């Protein structure tokens, strides 16, 4: 696996070509990037179709293990995403199932705290999903499902206390829905951890298993992770040594993006998936200004401002983010956003 243009410092990377021509695989997160709740993010299908037309392969990679990947693929096709095969969707249920299959005897019973998506993944690798400690499982696996309640969490706690290893699909604390943010699998995992004091084995982002699972299934020599979450998508990409594009259609805001410490920064930024098909030119910093093409970011009295481009434009975002990171790294002081930049 080789890398695309990337970067040489803690600032943004640059690419004279559209990212969809500079990288051969986009590992695209789903919740908050392609859709929010059941509805597509505006422009997502058209942006992905253009990227695919530029020669980029698309893999849809998600920590959400509530549905079988075939059902997710069907949903994506209904939303108009381009040329989606069932095998293009890779989730944390598949990653955790392979981790468990490698560690347990073939045909082992596993206590399932989750939904159909996780059960299908377990059965695909020859493991048997059971619902009670009385069924003598050899391990516990926990993944998100909206119907999980106290009794399932309690059963997992009893199994952990009996000494069984505890696997989880992911530890996302929240999940974006059409009505707003809601508790994610990580919040339910934390409830079990509070009861038992145990630490689970995690398969989903930011851990490496899901990234490796995706590349092995879909292929790609120059992968790019595309996501909305810093703690999973971006940190995970950094951890496995691949470049990343952060978008602002999900949980991360511009305010959070400009305040990121160097070890958590994405390679590229854009408002949405349209950034896959943009070039990402270098930002020139001169004191309290940052210029990227027609966009000019500036700092005055601790306030970050933008002229020459709208905040949703890739050039404008690059100028803002690069200048803000340069300011934070050299002064140690935080910045406020001009009111027109709030997203």
29, 172, 228, 235: the catalytic one is 29
Going by C-beta distance under 8 Å and a sequence separation of 6 or more, which residues neighbour residue 86?
Answer: 69, 70, 73
Q: Report yes or no: 247 and 273 within 8 Å, Cβ to Cβ.
A: yes
pLDDT at residue 213 in the model: 86
Going by C-beta distance under 8 Å and a sequence separation of 6 or more, which residues neighbour residue 94?
Answer: 69, 121, 124, 213
Q: Report yes or no: 295 and 305 within 8 Å, Cβ to Cβ.
A: no
Domains along the chain with CATH numbers: 19-63+206-277 (3.40.50.1000), 93-202 (3.40.50.1000), 284-341 (no CATH)
Under DSSP, the state recorded for 277 is: G
Q: Report yes or no: 221 and 1 within 8 Å, Cβ to Cβ.
A: yes
- Strand pairing class (109-113; 139-142): parallel
Residue with structure tokens 């693929």?
Answer: 73
pLDDT at residue 227 in the model: 97
* Mean pLDDT computed over every residue of the chain: 94
Q: Which two tokens stand for residue 150?
A: 């106290």
31, 235, 243, 313: the catalytic one is 31
**pLDDT of the chain, 343 residues: tens digit per residue:** 556 676 656 799 999 999 999 999 999 999 999 999 889 999 999 999 999 999 999 999 998 888 899 999 999 999 999 999 999 999 999 999 999 999 999 999 999 999 999 999 999 999 999 999 999 999 999 999 999 999 999 999 999 999 999 999 999 898 878 788 899 999 999 999 999 999 999 999 999 989 988 988 888 899 999 999 999 999 999 999 999 999 999 999 999 999 999 999 999 999 999 999 999 999 999 999 999 999 999 999 999 999 999 989 999 999 999 999 999 999 888 899 998 887 5
- Percentage above 90 pLDDT, the chain: 84
- Which pLDDT tens digit goes with each residue over 122-151? 999 999 999 999 999 999 999 999 999 999
Residues in the chain: 343
Q: Report yes or no: 175 and 31 within 8 Å, Cβ to Cβ.
A: yes
Q: Which two tokens stand for residue 11?
A: 């600032």
Active site residue 29: yes
Rounded (10°) angle between helices 92-103 and 116-124: 40
Rounded to two decimals, what is the model's pTM? Answer: 0.88
CA distance 121 to 66: 11
């Amino acid at each position: 696996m080789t890398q695309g243009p990337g970067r040489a410092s803690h600032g943004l990377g640059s690419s004279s070509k559209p990212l969809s021509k500079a990288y051969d695989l986009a590992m695209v997160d789903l919740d908050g990037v392609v859709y929010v709740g059941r509805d597509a993010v505006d422009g997502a299908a058209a942006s992905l179709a253009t990227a695919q037309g530029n020669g980029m392969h698309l893999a849809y990679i998600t920590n959400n293990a509530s549905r079988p990947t075939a059902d997710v693929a069907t949903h994506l096709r209904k939303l108009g995403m381009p040329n989606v095969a069932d095998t293009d969707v890779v989730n944390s249920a598949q990653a955790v199932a392979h981790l468990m299959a490698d560690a347990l005897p073939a045909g082992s019973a596993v206590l399932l705290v989750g939904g159909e998506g996780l059960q299908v993944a377990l059965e695909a690798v020859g493991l048997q999903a059971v619902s009670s400690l009385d069924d003598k499982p050899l391990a516990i696996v926990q993944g998100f499902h909206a119907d999980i309640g106290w009794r399932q969490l309690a059963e997992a706690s009893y199994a952990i206390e009996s000494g069984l290893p505890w696997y989880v699909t992911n530890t996302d604390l929240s999940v974006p829905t059409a009505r707003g943010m809601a508790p994610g699998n990580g919040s339910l995992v934390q409830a079990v951890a509070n009861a038992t004091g145990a630490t689970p084995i995690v398969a989903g982002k930011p851990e490496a298993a899901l990234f490796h699972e995706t590349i092995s299934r879909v292929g790609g020599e120059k992968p790019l992770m595309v996501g909305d979450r810093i703690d999973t998508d971006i940190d995970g990409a950094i951890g496995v040594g691949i470049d990343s594009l952060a978008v602002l259609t999900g949980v991360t805001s511009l305010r959070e993006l400009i305040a990121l410490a160097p070890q958590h920064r994405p390679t590229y930024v854009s408002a949405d998936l349209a950034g896959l098909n943009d070039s990402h030119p270098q930002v020139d910093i001169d004191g309290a200004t940052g210029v990227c093409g027609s966009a000019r970011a500036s700092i005055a009295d601790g306030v970050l401002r933008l002229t020459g481009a709208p905040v949703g434009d890739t050039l404008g975002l690059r100028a803002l983010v690069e200048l803000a990171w340069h300011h934070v790294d050299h002064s140690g002081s935080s910045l406020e956003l001009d009111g027109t930049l709030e997203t």
